[in-house]
Structure 1
Amino acid sequence: MSSVRKIVSTLVFAALTITSFQPALALSRVKDLVEVEGIRENMLVGYGLVTGLNGTGDSLKNAPFTQQTIQTMLERMGVNTRGQTMQTKNTAAVMVTAKLPAFASTGNNIDVSVSAMGDAKSLQGGTLLVTTLFGADGQIYALAQGPVAIGGFSAQGDAGSVTRGVPTAGRIPNGAIVEREIGFNLAAERSLKLSLRNPDLTTAARIASAVNTYVGSPVAVASDPATVRLAIPADYKGGVVGMLTDIEQVKVATDQSAKVVVNEATGVIVMGSDVRISTVAIAQGNLTIKVTETPEVSQPGPLSNGTTQTMPRTKIDIDEGKGKRMIVMKEGVSLQNLVDGLNALGVGPRDIISILQAIKAAGALQAEIQVIG
């Protein structure tokens, strides 16, 4: 009996050992990988006036549109200023922008951003007057008004000034009220399109397969690397909303093409785990020249008519990087091997960028290099 227990224990230990060496797959929810067509934000924009500025508004001479807007606003209130000289600096013309969320209802509040158009120096302490916000179709979807909160400041004296952040741009939290809804009846849809945030054919196929397995019928099909078409069964419990709620929790192993992203301006390098290189030899050497000036002072002898003189003395050190050696990368090495090998050469991020570009030019880097910045 004891021998049987020993054999069983050995088998269990072997199974656990084999399992511990299995590569772990990174699973992501469908909710985090796709967007549902039709469920999106919409951009709104408007033009308005910010008043109450402490002399930091537009100079009407350099911003004639501000003066015209003030005159039009005052005329609506029964004040005629045509032909009069205006010198106020407490008003600024601004552009107001906002995002109308999907399914926003009439009366909901949304945040707005305010930015100066003229030569205003700061919007601190200002209040946005009622501003209509238009959509791309020219219809009014929201009205904005309220005190502007800025994230910077500006101070000026007689001999200098200091500015932190951007005092000519700010936000109004919950500063707009939705006046028109965007009609989209999600519950009436019988088919939907799921758009991948990062298009990939393998990921799209895996999403369709996972959804079909979960539902138990072929309701999803990957039509291209960026789209998965979804048919809604007529008898599905909860309809469209219930089905989306269920399948967005399904987990899928994502896949992406091998890519190396480099930013030459900052020296940042990001490499995917699937980056591979063919057999290649890499050598990197640095030539460092150090020039040191150590002048010496020569004093004349006692009771002599000589003068003190400074004698130049220059020391030049040259380091050709002889300690650097050539390393050989075997075919199919992984990201970790590549990084370890480059670190062994003592190279920095900017040199690694040049090396990666050279490896790519030699045809040994099996990945796409994307340069940003």
Structure 2
Amino acid sequence: MQNLINKQQATFGFILMVVVLLWSSWAEAQSRIKDVANVAGVRENQLIGYGLVVGLNGSGDNTPFAEQSLISMLNKFGINVPPGVRTNAKNVAAVAVHASLPAFAKPGQTIDVTVSSLGNAKSLQGGTLLMTPLKGVDNQIYALAQGNLVVGGLDASGRDGSSVTINVPSVGRIPNGALVEREVQSGFSTGTTITLNLHRADFTTATNVTNAINDMLGSGTARALDAESIEVMAPRIPDQRVAFMSILENIEVALGESAARVIVNSRTGTVVIGQTVRVSPAAVSHGGLVVRIEETLDPSQPNPFAQGQAMLVPGTEIDVEERGSRMFKFDSGVTLDELVDAVNKVGAAPSDLVAILEALKQAGALRAELMII
């Protein structure tokens, strides 16, 4: 009896292991909804502000607006600077401060800020940002930034004019340098539905996401609005909506194949060919004309009794060579691997490959969109 139980347990364990392996292999081919879509209205918001960095070691600005900002700040503290008197402060820099306010950020939380010089400051190393209001596009203050800068660059110079610059010393960061003062309402908790926006619009992916949600949560829960947006019925109570989103964003979906594209970077010569690219039957012959120009300096010696001077005379040798063209044939439905192998056999350079692809596109044999960036 005990042996039978042990055999049943072993059999059940083997079946469970097979199910786990099958589930793992299936899950690897899937993507979570949270990786392919975002919730409409739940996003970051950009903030920007203008401030002063003080405490620099003589590497500050020498600009009128930096001095004007310093005088304005001094006036707010009751220190009156006579008109026409220049401060000539070299340890102050006018800066632009920007940050990203995360979704659902609450007052009292901190965010990172980036500080960039606006004038001719050589370095912000060792500087301190004074309290700077950060505003949104609606001109409302959402955070206050202040703190010591962390600068990854270095600028050093000597009296003889020599200088050394490493990275960019005129830009720095302040980790947790801004305190959130106002919350941005996202509208996540309002209404009876939420909208999922795909990162890449695709009708197949939108249909797969809709079907996966309906299979998991019931028919009619989701409906596709277009190739990018899916509307999903959601609870109105906030805590239930959060739990609902936790289930929703972890649903596995199959992504639709992207459109066949060949991307060519004209500046670097980089060519990226998608896996769905196909080529119709075609024959390609690619060869080139090689012209070599070599400059030489030939010595010129005057006659023994002549009144002359030995000198070097420039000469030019021109050699023209026409390489033999090699032809290769593409059969119907050629795949990416076969296309690359055929081109590699010819020994084509990236520029040659671009010429071949353009010719195939003009001939109607390349079943893909050719994009030049």
Q: TM-score range by the shorter chain?
A: 0.7 to 0.9
Equivalent positions of 1:290-309 (< 5 A) are 290-292=292-294
Q: Which amino acid aligns with 1:140?
A: I
Please tell me whether residue 133 in structure 1 is matched to residue 120 in structure 2: no
Verify: 1:50 aligned to 2:53, yes or no. Answer: yes
Matched, 1:268 2:270: yes
Distance 1:106 1:346 in 2: 62
C-alpha separation in 1, matches of 2:90 and 2:370? 52
TM-score by length of 2: 0.83
After superposition, the Cα gap between the structure-2 partners of 1:238 and 1:135, relative to the gap in structure 1 and judged at 3 Å, is: closer
In the alignment, the residues of structure 1 paired with residue 314 and residue 130 of structure 2 have an alpha-carbon distance, to the nearest angstrom, of: 71
Q: Quote the Cα distance in structure 2 between the aligned partners of 1:241 and 1:258.
A: 38
Q: Report how many aligned residue pairs link the two structures.
A: 344
Q: Helix, strand or coil for the counterpart of 2:94?
A: strand
Shift of 1:268: 1.3
What is the CA distance between 1:76 and its match in structure 2?
Answer: 1.3
Residue 13 (structure 1) aligns with: none
Query: For 2:174, what is the secondary structure of its paired residue?
Result: strand
CA shift digits 1:236-290 (9 cap, x unpaired): x962222221122222221211112221111112221111122222222122233
Instruction: Give CA-to-partner distance per residue, 1:322-360, whole Å, 9 cap, x none.
Output: 1x4111112221111111111111111222123222222
1:138-217 mapped onto 2 (5 Å cutoff): 138-157=139-158, 158-184=160-186, 186-217=188-219
Greater shift in the superposed pair: 64-73 or 161-170: 161-170
Q: Distance in 2 between matches of 1:312 and 1:78?
A: 77
Q: Secondary structure at the match of 1:358?
A: helix
1:315, distance to aligned residue in structure 2 (A):
5.8
- Tell me whether 1:75 sits opposite 2:75 in the alignment: yes
Structure 2: how far apart are the matches of 1:290 and 1:131?
63
Conservation of the 8 A alpha-carbon contact between 2:27 and 2:252: no
- 1 CA distance for matches of 2:313 and 2:129? 70
In the TM superposition, what are the counterparts of 1:249-260 in structure 2 within 5 Å?
249-255=250-256, 256-260=258-262
2:105 aligned partner = 104
CA deviation vs aligned residue, 1:191-247 (integer Å, no higher than 9, x gap): 011000011111111110111111132211111111011112679x96222222112
Letter in 2 for 1:204: A
| Matching residue's letter, 1:169 | V
CA deviations on 1:28-68 (whole Å, 9 max, x unpaired) are 11111000012100110100001111221111xxx222122
Q: Secondary structure at the match of 2:342?
A: helix
Aligned to 2:93: 92
The corresponding residue for 1:282 is 284
Residues 24 and 108 of structure 1: is their aligned pair in 2 closer, same or farther, counting only changes over 3 Å? closer
Quote the residue 1:240 is aligned against. Answer: 241
Match of 2:42 in 1: 39
Percent identical pairs in the alignment equals 46
Measure how far apart 1:174 and its partner are: 0.9
- Whether the aligned pair in 2 keeps the contact of 1:187 and 1:241 (CA below 8 Å) is no
- CA change 1:167–1:309 in 2 (3 A) is closer
Secondary structure, in 3 states, of the residue corresponding to 1:186?
coil
Q: Which moved more, 1:183-192 or 1:207-216?
A: 183-192
Would you say the 8 A contact 1:115–1:170 is kept in 2?
yes
- List structure 1 runs of 4+ shifted beyond 4 angstroms: 291-300, 304-317
User: After the TM superposition, which of the residue ranges 116-125 and 93-102 deviates more from structure 2?
Assistant: 116-125
TM-score by length of 1: 0.83
Cα distance change on mapping 1:78 and 1:208 into 2, 3 Å: same
Confirm whether residue 221 of structure 1 aligns to residue 223 of structure 2. Answer: yes
Code of the residue aligned with 2:245 in structure 1: it is: L
Aligned-partner Cα distance in 1 for 2:27–2:151: 46
CA RMSD, 1 decimal: 2.9
Where 2:124 maps in the other structure, the secondary structure is coil
User: Which residue of the partner structure matches residue 123 of structure 1?
Assistant: 124
CA separation of 1:312 and 1:146: change in aligned 2, threshold 3 A: closer
Larger mean CA deviation between 124-133 and 226-235 belongs to: 226-235
Q: Residue 286 of structure 2 aligns to a residue in which SS?
A: coil
Describe the shift of the 1:371–1:293 C-alpha distance in structure 2 as closer, same or farther (beyond 3 A): closer
CA distance in 1, matches of 2:295, 2:191: 80
Separation (CA, whole Å) in 2 of partners of 1:203 and 1:267: 32
Is residue 60–residue 93 contact of structure 2 (8 Å, CA) maintained in 1?
Answer: yes
Aligned to 1:331: 332
User: Is the CA contact (8 Å cut-off) linking 2:197 and 2:228 kept in structure 1?
Assistant: yes
- Of stretches 223-232 and 291-300 in structure 1, the one that deviates more from structure 2 is 291-300
The aligned counterpart of 1:4 is none
Aligned to 1:9: none
Name the SS for the 2:225 alignment partner.
strand
Q: Which residue of 1 aligns with 2:362?
A: 361
Q: Displacement of 1:316 after TM fit?
A: 5.1
Partner of 2:65: 65
Whole-angstrom distance in 1 between the partners of 2:313 and 2:175: 69
Q: Which amino acid aligns with 2:175?
A: P
**Which segment is superposed worse, 24-33 or 362-371?**
24-33
For the residue of structure 2 that corresponds to 1:123, the secondary structure is: coil
Structure 2 counterpart of 1:79, one-letter code: I
- Supply the distance in 2 between the matched residues of 1:259 and 1:203 (Cα, whole angstroms): 18
Give unpaired runs (5+ residues) of structure 2: 1-21
